[in-house]
Amino acid sequence: MLYYIRLFLQYAITLLAALTINFILPRLAPGEPINAILPEDAIESMSENQLQRVLADYGLDLPIFEQYWNYITGIFSGDFGISVALGQPVWDSLIERLPWTLLLMGTALLISTIIGVSLGVISAWKRGNIADASITGIVLFIGSLPPFWLAMMLIVLFATNLGWLPAFGAYPIGVATGSMEWYTEVGKRLLMPAGALALVHGATVLLIARSSMLMSLDQDYIMFARAKGLPQRQIFFKHAFRNALLPLYTNVMMGIGGLIGGALVIETVFAYPGLGSLIVTGVSSRDYNLLQGIFVFATVSVIAANFLADLFYPLIDPRTRKGN
Amino acid sequence: MKKFINMLTVTIAMIALVASTASADKLAGIISAKDNKGPKTAKHLKLGIWNTAGNVTTYTIGNSWNDWMLWLVFDKLVEPSPYVGQAENWLATKIEQKSDDARVWEITLREGVKWHDGSEFTAEDVAFTFNYYREGPPNRWTHHASSVPRIEGVEILNKYKVRLTSVKPMPNFDKVTAADIPMIQKKQWENVKKPRQFKGLGIGTGPYILVDYKADEYYKFKANKNYWQGKPLVDELTLIMIKNPQTMFTALRTGEIDGAARSLPPELVKQWKSDPSIELAKAPSLWGVWLDINTGTKPFDNLELRQAISLAIDPEPMLKRIMLDMGKSGSTGWPHVDSFWTRPDAKVDYDPARAKTMLDKLGFVDKDGDGFREAADGSKINWDMVVATNRPLQIRAIEMVVKQLAEVGLKGTIRTLDPASFSGLWRSRKFDMRVADITPHGIADQDMLIILYKGDNKRALVKDKAKAEIVSRWLDADTREKRLKVSFELQDYQNKYPNRIMLWYPDGIFAYNWKAYDNYVSSAGYGIFHKYSFLPSKSREGTSESIQNKIDY
């Protein structure tokens, strides 16, 4: 029980520290939100008093400690203030965007995990032969491509040249939500951004899976299993792969936490309405309220994913149980 | 005799101005290889936009990137804009100057105009609009009621008539002020104290009604069938946010959108001209790219140094190499050459030899032999030249500026900043020079120009008394002729001792799918995507005629 209380307190302190950093960081960057609300000529036309009245609409005219207090208390009441860039409550924007980010990132994570793990363990199992070299080489090449370039190339190929897929967006505007056409369009619009993300992320998963599998294959118990004359399939799945799962599990759990952050570049290129493109909007307009809101979501999800991972480690790996 | 010559000069200038403005409008035209003939009406158009507009109110739209969206919903007393000096009656049927000093004006309103909620547009709304802009929560239009000009009296004479009185003369009220202020509904706004937290949809009298939106994603408008100017030609408009320019232009080519409401980059024009499914139209954009000199720091408080810097900069090669000749060079100076309010023969000299002589006289000489001049006090010069990372054309421009300055012995180092940090420079003033955009509102709206001039003086290290005196005379000018004459003086002074050096004025090049809709008109400052393109031809007064002229680049 003490283990869990200590774990909880540890995460509570981490959460408060992260929330405080979320508040401070956007304010340290040069530039200010007023530039996103008004263009230069309009700023020029206003007195300092008028500019403060504009900022008051967003609660940004208040002393910094009051803004901090409003931010912390707002987290518990779901009030993150009004977005300077979007002109609507931050909470509404987050709730609108979250499902699309979860869909995109979840799909990308699923594809990258399945493909990355499969190819990674096969690569490790076939270490040193041509299959290993080919898989590693190709995946490293794809993984090193800049995501925005990869995204643009996919658009040129599949949207402009072949005309198979739409170039942008997450859903068809003007089609009844929930209809078959709507679902088909959502699926088509998901393919390119999720594919681009999966290709980039898959390379990392493959390397982790390969290295983890190689470590496992080097262990004495594998040699012992081979010496016993166990079938290859049994050695692969029961002894090598099961022991290689732990680092992969950590990576997948971290990936779930990172889902909320979205994919900044990919979402922007594909005009995909997720949290990633919202971060770009927030950063480019120094929208403190919006950035705070997104970062709270991201922080809580990362910490929650880690917390869950910590909770389940003892179930997955008996070596991490208390007393062992 | 002198007075007569002055009057004659101004009169000739005004005639020339009208002619030049008209010819500027006629320049708009199709530049594609073939001028196709597409449909003149449409059921539904999808247009790509790149700038969010909140809930489309005067508090969520404030810049020239997307103010055309506001004008879909809202009308003004006279239209189309304050930039062309040719605004025609719109919600007003008559705007009369009622005092010799141009301080008192009476506005007679069009009867029977309805707001989108069915209630009638009356003098109550006009009076409320001016009072709200003057005393209420500030926005981009506030200055037209609270500063230049400052309205001090708003009287409702009857249901359709309002009298306005200003502190200083406002001889251009009917052509500038009234041509820029959107009329807002008293019923909707009178109890709104924090308009940027207001969640309702903007209610206007305009040709389109906003029916649904997701900020940063899309805006859906339906035609206002009861619009007083007649039913719009397109039944539904969906404006879709696509921030990445490549994605937007790709979506146009794949037919996912019918028009791209952002100017096509010059390097794409040649390639796109031969695309059979796309038509390209050129329209006077009234935008500009300038070199902004920080007069709040030394040594830029020195008028003659600024003059020497101006003489060292040649905008012509920038237009040719960077803009591929798609626009006009900044050699005509400030403000926009196509604006009604600009002296048609304005010119800024390029004379590097004279610049060198002036710098020598000012004591800016190369004492240590490194090829660059030191300041008069012997200190090294290495000016901080700033540009935004998301403006590739401007990055090339500042590189050329640095090179041209080096040719007269002045050293500058380029610093790039992300767009948000760059925007912060306007208030922080932590730069020596920067290259930036200037919008039609900042470059071709007379009231706004004076605010810029006043701001310049407020920030300057040493107050420019001569310029302040001209501005003061402008504010006191009680006729259009007098004001125009002082404006020309101000331009001459500004172009001689500039704190802003114009580099170029880009053409607006807009692409659309002609098979979806082919009835666009251009309007200076708005391009081709604006409400006049969707209105019957009788409502297109003040804009150029339909896009028909071919111009080859």
Give residue-wise pLDDT tens across range B45-56.
999 999 888 889
Identify whether B37 is part of a domain.
yes
Contacts across the A-B interface (CB distance below 8 Å) = 171
Q: Are residues B315 and B228 in the same domain?
A: no
Query: How do B161-166 and B104-109 pair as beta strands?
Result: antiparallel
Q: Which residue of B has its CA nearest to A286?
A: B420
Q: Which residue of A has its CA nearest to B46?
A: A173
DSSP state of A240: I
A160 touches chain B (CB under 8 A): yes
H/E stretch holding B501: strand B500-513
Cα–Cα distance for residue pair A290/A71, rounded to 1 Å: 11
- pLDDT over 60 at B544, yes or no: no
Confidence tier at A7 by pLDDT (50, 70, 90): confident
- pLDDT over 90 at B435, yes or no: yes
Digit-coded pLDDT (tens) for B23-32: 333 334 666 6
Look up the domain containing B414 and give its range: 288-506
Q: Are residues B298 and B424 in the same domain?
A: yes
Query: What pLDDT score was predicted for residue B542?
Result: 65
Query: What pLDDT score was predicted for residue B7?
Result: 52
Q: Which residue among B137, B218, B441 places its CB closest to the CB of A41?
A: B441
Name the burial class of residue A173, with classes exposed (0-12), middle (13-18) and buried (19+) by CB atoms within 10 angstroms of its CB. middle
Give the alpha-carbon dihedral of A25, A27, A28, A33, to 10 degrees.
Answer: 130
Q: Are residues B248 and B325 in the same domain?
A: no
Q: Are residues B341 and B420 in the same domain?
A: yes
Confidence tier at B19 by pLDDT (50, 70, 90): very low
Query: What pLDDT score was predicted for residue B171?
Result: 96
Q: Which residue among B63, B197, B256 places its CB closest to the CB of A82?
A: B197
Query: What pLDDT score was predicted for residue B327?
Result: 92
B247–A86 CB contact, under 8 Å:
no
Digit-coded pLDDT (tens) for B448-462: 889 988 888 888 888
* Mean pLDDT of all residues in B173-199: 92
B452–A44 CB contact, under 8 Å:
yes
Rg (C-alpha) for chain A, rounded Å, is: 24
Identify whether B495 is part of a domain.
yes
A93–B452 CB contact, under 8 Å:
no
Give the lowest-confidence range in A312-316, B297-301, B312-316, B493-497.
A312-316
Identify whether B131 is part of a domain.
no
Query: What pLDDT score was predicted for residue A31?
Result: 86
- Which CATH number goes with the domain that contains B6? 3.40.190.10
Q: Nearest CA to B448 among B492, B487, B496, B403?
A: B487
B216–A85 CB contact, under 8 Å:
yes
Q: Are residues B474 and B531 in the same domain?
A: no
Identify whether B151 is part of a domain.
no
Query: What pLDDT score was predicted for residue B25?
Result: 37
Percent of chain A topping pLDDT 70: 97
**Cβ–Cβ < 8 Å for B180, B81:** yes
Name the burial class of residue B424, with classes exposed (0-12), middle (13-18) and buried (19+) by CB atoms within 10 angstroms of its CB. buried
Mutate to test the interface with B, among A27, A48, A168 (most CBs of B within 10 A): A168
Mutate to test the interface with B, among A40, A95, A96, A268 (most CBs of B within 10 A): A40
- pLDDT over 80 at B398, yes or no: yes
Identify whether B134 is part of a domain.
no
Residue with tokens 């000093």: B101
Name the burial class of residue A5, with classes exposed (0-12), middle (13-18) and buried (19+) by CB atoms within 10 angstroms of its CB. exposed
Query: What pLDDT score was predicted for residue B552?
Result: 43
Cα–Cα distance for residue pair B245/B253, rounded to 1 Å: 13
Q: Nearest CA to B526 among B136, B290, B180?
A: B180
Structure tokens that stand for B117 in this block: 């909620």
Q: Nearest CA to B86 among B23, B35, B131?
A: B23
Q: Nearest CA to B406 among B336, B333, B355, B441?
A: B355
Q: Are residues B463 and B529 in the same domain?
A: no
* Mean pLDDT of all residues in B361-381: 94
Digit-coded pLDDT (tens) for A78-101: 899 999 888 889 999 999 999 999
Percent of chain B topping pLDDT 70: 92
Q: Are residues B551 and B428 in the same domain?
A: no
Name the burial class of residue A16, with classes exposed (0-12), middle (13-18) and buried (19+) by CB atoms within 10 angstroms of its CB. exposed
Q: Are residues B519 and B498 in the same domain?
A: no
B439–A39 CB contact, under 8 Å:
yes
Cβ partners under 8 Å of residue B220, min gap 6: A173, A174, B210, B211, B212, B213, B236, B237, B238, B239
Identify whether B138 is part of a domain.
no
Q: How many domains does chain B have?
A: 2
Mean pLDDT, chain A, rounded, equals 87
- Which CATH number goes with the domain that contains B359? 3.10.105.10
| Identity of residue B342 | T
pTM, full prediction:
0.87
* Mean pLDDT of all residues in A20-43: 88
Give the alpha-carbon dihedral of B302, B306, B311, B312, to 10 degrees.
Answer: 110
- pLDDT over 90 at B96, yes or no: yes
Q: Nearest CA to B530 among B298, B152, B239?
A: B239
Query: What pLDDT score was predicted for residue A174?
Result: 83
- pLDDT over 90 at A285, yes or no: no
Mutate to test the interface with B, among A34, A41, A48 (most CBs of B within 10 A): A41
Digit-coded pLDDT (tens) for A177-209: 889 999 999 999 999 999 998 888 888 888 888
Q: Are residues B406 and B501 in the same domain?
A: yes
Cα–Cα distance for residue pair A133/A303, rounded to 1 Å: 37
Query: What pLDDT score was predicted for residue B407?
Result: 97
Q: Are residues B246 and B394 in the same domain?
A: no
Instruction: Quote the minimal CA–CA distance from B480 to chain A in Å.
Output: 23
Identify whether B257 is part of a domain.
yes
Confidence tier at B274 by pLDDT (50, 70, 90): confident
* Mean pLDDT of all residues in B469-487: 94
Identify whether B75 is part of a domain.
no
Cα–Cα distance for residue pair A81/A244, rounded to 1 Å: 45
Digit-coded pLDDT (tens) for A119-149: 998 898 888 888 888 988 888 888 888 888 8
- pLDDT over 70 at B20, yes or no: no
Cα–Cα distance for residue pair A20/A7, rounded to 1 Å: 20
- pLDDT over 60 at B34, yes or no: yes
B247–A58 CB contact, under 8 Å:
no
Instruction: Quote the minimal CA–CA distance from B362 to chain A in Å.
Output: 32
| Total length of chain B | 553
Query: What pLDDT score was predicted for residue B550?
Result: 32
Q: Are residues B502 and B362 in the same domain?
A: yes
* Mean pLDDT of all residues in B472-476: 95
Query: What pLDDT score was predicted for residue A260?
Result: 67
State ipTM.
0.83
Give the lowest-confidence range in A176-190, A197-211, A250-264, B150-164.
A250-264
Q: What are phi and psi of B418, to 5 degrees?
A: -65, 155
Give the lowest-confidence range in A3-17, A188-202, B25-39, B431-445.
B25-39
Q: Which residue of A has its CA nearest to B422?
A: A31
Digit-coded pLDDT (tens) for A226-244: 898 889 888 888 888 888 8
Q: Are residues B409 and B306 in the same domain?
A: yes
Cα–Cα distance for residue pair B380/B277, rounded to 1 Å: 57
Query: What pLDDT score was predicted for residue B463?
Result: 85
